[in-house]
Structures are given as structure tokens and as C-alpha cells.
Chain A
């Protein structure tokens, strides 16, 4: 279970990006599971993504599924409507392929986009009614945070020691 779904734990506050990466790597080296660590960042920086080594987002699959569904819908909708009223005009073919391409393209983009956004919502677990206890309002402003979910005091103590060693500006226990 991801730390984003859990409540109790230890929160370390950091000023700089490399300290956050150091903290995550030190916690993982210290035996803390990756799923128990949540990093809060005010910026969408790729540096952090590279440093903490997480799997590639599955959002891309949602985009692919949405795009594919759009293509199929566009093709079948146009072809079906052509043949549902199969009136041949001027000796031309009943189904017009250039037309299907336009509708297929538009629906590919439309459903691809909708599925992509749905993917962000599903995998990021939003909308959420409230922010989690590990969050602090300054994490959207100027500070970075590392929240470690802990089951017991011993684990909390160990996480606090590691966070302190890598230079956390503040370490707090949150419930």
C-alpha cells in the first residue's frame, strides 16, 4: 500500500532537491520500502524522478486505449451510417474513406485526451476530499518534504535518524 493512503509517520522538511533524493535513497538503503515513502515537491522536476527511480507511469496505457477506442469508434460510426442509408449518388462509392479519416482522427484525439486525464485522476488518486497528514501547505510553495509511513515507534525512530543524517531542516511526527 502506498504511503499516500496511510496516515501515521514521520515527515522531514528539506530546502534542496538533492537532499530529498539523498533522503529517499538513504531511507531505501536503511530498509524502508519504496511504497512507504512519499516525496512532496513544489515543482514537476525530472531531476527528482531520475533520482528516486520509480516505475514509468501507466498513464501512457490509458492514452493508448483511449486513442485506439477513438479510432475504432470513428471508423465504425462513419461506415455504419454510410451503409445504414446506402444511397448511391452519382456512381460514387457508398462509403467515403477520406471522411472516415477525419472523424477517426478527431475521435482518436478526443478519447485519447479524455482517457489520459482519467488516467491521471485514477493513478494520482484525485479527486481527494482532504490532503493527507504528511502534507504541509509550504510543499506547494518553497519546500520539499519526505513522508515516511511507520507502523511502530522503532521504525519511526529509525526514519527520523536517517532524515536527520541527510540534513532535514525539520523532522516531525504526524498522525
Chain B
């Protein structure tokens, strides 16, 4: 599968070009048809779980953060784990859409829309957790950098404030990047919709009167390039900033210079896994086999394997640094990670993130839809436990032994964590039914250019 183009492109040589262009529109816009029973059933499950989470959150707001299982010194628990996990998931969306765009990696075209939407919805999910973790959520505006009544500004030396800037910038740029890419495709959906229907009005509004003129494409192409250029360093910075939330503290297990690259690699790793988790069922449900084939899966799998190796290396380096530093606290925390009360979480993390992905050295697994889906689920689980392990085990085993305690995740936290997945999938399910989940215009761009000579040859042949 070394062919850099999609199956549609390969088959295009045997079809009239106009028909192929039309087929791309037909196939992708067919995903927007009236939802079926499967979609409705999934939505019902998602809404039920989300409902339970909302009830749990209301209970927490009414009763207080005590229901969340915090026990000193573990005052950052599952909510912060969820926050870091979802920010990490958000990461590879921009990697696939922006960085692979700049590298002209053509396999991104079929999957980048899914990964971009995943980014936006994952940041929306992550953004909930600082609010949930606050307890008194009605004071959320304290997070926003503006002066208080005594004209005292927030402290820009605090990594939490950097986080606010990093996450809000990432959300804004990712949303703009997603929307910009969507405009021409929404225009195609508008032109297909029944005039005066709800969808026609919706798509007319969202497509902003796009017509695909040479002038519009000229500005669009240039802007897309610059947006990709701006988003690329942003990808690397956001999770670096999130990692500094931990690395700037002196807690053993956190205070390490390796944290920024380690978190970035882990974020890309988990994000690629989530892209695979989303793409595999979507391809099957919408019959997109001609657009997403083993070539794309193989490339995503290679990216997963590469980032798994980086993460594995980072885990080993952490142990080396703990030993080489000579700090007994660092040594103790890493020994505790392997053998202590949270060793179960640590070993789940190693199994899912380091050992299971090694199966991807096999091309048969890399090109198997079923096994890739399974591996991606394991990686998602493993990356959640990585954050759990870093945050909770480190806090539970700080400097003074009399401080040590064991944090248990409460039912409220489990419910809200499950609800975060429901919230994410609710948006994703809505998205795939209302907006084109593949980039129509860019898919067509991958086809051989429509040239008169080829058209005449095809006509003669037919």
C-alpha cells in the first residue's frame, strides 16, 4: 500500500472525471441523510450517561467537593486526570490537520476532518473539568485574566494562567481552522439541499455565501497555509504548558524537565488512538471504504507505533533520572510507582501504552480494522491511567510519610468521567449527521487533475 492516494483516486482512472467528482460529493454528503435507528440508539445511550453525569455534578455542587473522594494530600484527582486526558486527545487533531498538511502527507486528507472535530470537542470536554474541579463553579470567572476590584491582576507567573491562555488559544485556533476547512464543503451541502428546507437555510448561513471563485480560493489557500503554520507550534506548546502545571511544582514525580516533550508525545499518541477509535466504526457505518482504506490505517498505525516508542522511552528516562539524580524522594516515588499501592494503575499504563502497541510492528495488525480498533481502545485506557498515575500516585506519596494517603475514586467522579465521554460522543454524533465528515474539496483535489486530453481519451475509450 505504498500508493499515496486513496482508493477513489486509484479507481478514478477508469471513470469519467466529472462522474468521479460527483461521486465524491454523493458519497460524502450521503452521510448527512436522515439518521437511522443505530444512530438514534447510540444517541440515547450517550444522553442517558450524560444525564447521570449531570445529576452527579448537581449533587456535587449541592453537597460540596467532599463527595469527590479527595483526601489530603491528594487534592488533584480524577477531574484533573480527565482534564489532561482530554487536552491530550485534542492534540493529534491539529497534528494531523496542520503539521501533516505542511509536510504534504496525503493520507491525512481522508481523516483530518474527523481529527479536527475531535480536537474541538475534546477541548470543549477538557474545558469542563477545571469548572467541575472548582467546586464553587459560580466563581469560574476568577480564571479569566482581568483585574479584581483592587486592580490586582492575576499572577502571570502561575502556570495555571499560562494554561488559560494556551487552552483558550488552542480552542479558538482549532475551531477557526475546522470552520475554515468546512466552508467550501458546507457550500456543497447547501447546493445539494432542498431549497427552503431547514438544512438549506442552515448550510446557507454557515457557508457564508461561498461560491468557490478564483479570488475566494486564492485567499482561502493562502490563509489555510498560514493557519497551519500558526497551529503547528501551538500543537507543541499547548501540552507543554499543560505539563508545566505539574513540572513547575516541586512534587517528586512531577518536577522534571522531560515533562514537556513527554506530554506532547503522549498527547499525540492518545489522539491518534482516538482518531482510529472514531474512524473505524464511522467508515463501516457510512460505507466509506473507498475513501479510508488500509493505506490510511497503516499510516495512522505507524504514527501510533512511533509515538508509543517515544512514550516508552520517556517512561524509561523518568526512571533513569530518578536514579541518576540521587534524590531519595525521586527514587522513592518511582519505586512506589512500580510496587506501591497504585502499582496496578502504573502496570495498566505500561501494558496498554508500551507492550500492546508493540504488536504494531506486524503489518497484518496495522492493516486489520478489527485489531487496530482494539489496540486504539487499549491505548485510550492506557493514556487515561498514565495521567491518573502521574497525578494521583505522585500526590499520594509526597515528601513526608505521615502525609501519605490513599485516594479512592468516588461514584460521583466515575459518573462525571463517563459523562465526559458521553458529552464528547454526543457532539461527534451530531457533527457526523449535520456537517460533512470528510473534506470534499480536498478529496477531489487528490484526484488526477481534470484535463481535456484525458477527457477525450476517456470518451474515445468508452
User: Which residues from chain A sit less than 8 Å from chain B, CB to CB?
Assistant: 2, 4, 15-19, 38-49, 52, 54, 56-57, 59-60, 63, 67, 78, 81-82, 84-85, 96, 99-100, 102-103, 105-107, 109-110, 112-114, 116-117, 119-121, 123-124, 126-132, 135, 137-144, 167
Contact = CB atoms under 8 A, between A and B. Distances in A.
Nearest to B237: A105
A41 B451 contact: no
Instruction: Indicate the member of B169, B177, B211 with the most A CB atoms within 10 Å.
Output: B211
B156 A141 contact: no
Contacts of A42: 21, 188, 212, 441, 444
A84 B191 contact: no
A3 B378 CA distance: 56
Interface in B172-199: 172-173, 176-177, 180, 183-184, 187-188, 190-192
15 contacts: A16-B454, A17-B449, A40-B211, A99-B157, A99-B162, A103-B156, A103-B165, A106-B162, A109-B230, A116-B223, A120-B220, A140-B212, A141-B22, A141-B188, A142-B25
Contact of A41 (B162, B212, B442): B212
Interface string B202-235: 0000001111111111111111101100110110
B445 A113 contact: no
A48 B445 CA distance: 12
Interface in B148-173: 151-154, 156-157, 162, 165-166, 168-169, 172-173
A41 B20 CA distance: 15
B217 A41 contact: yes
A114 B451 contact: no
Nearest to A143: B18
Contacts of B156: 78, 81-82, 96, 99-100, 103
B48 interface: no
Contact of B220 (A39, A40, A44, A129): A44
Interface residues of B, number: 65
A147 to B, nearest CB: 8
Given A99-B156, A103-B156, A142 B176 contact: no
A102 B165 contact: yes
B114 interface: no
Contacts of A141: 21-22, 25, 188, 191-192
Secondary structure call for the B interface: helix
Contact of A124 (B190, B216, B224, B226): B216
Contact of B237 (A99, A106, A116, A138): A106
A131 B444 contact: no
Contacts of A121: 208
B450 interface: yes
B104 to A, nearest CB: 12
Nearest to A4: B213
B214 A127 contact: no
A41 B214 contact: yes
B218 A113 contact: no
B241 interface: yes
B209 A54 contact: no
Given A18-B451, A49-B221, A120-B223, A103 B162 contact: yes
Given A4-B215, A96-B157, A46 B221 contact: yes
Nearest to B216: A124
B455 interface: yes
Contact of B165 (A45, A106, A123, A144): A106
Contacts of A119: 219, 223
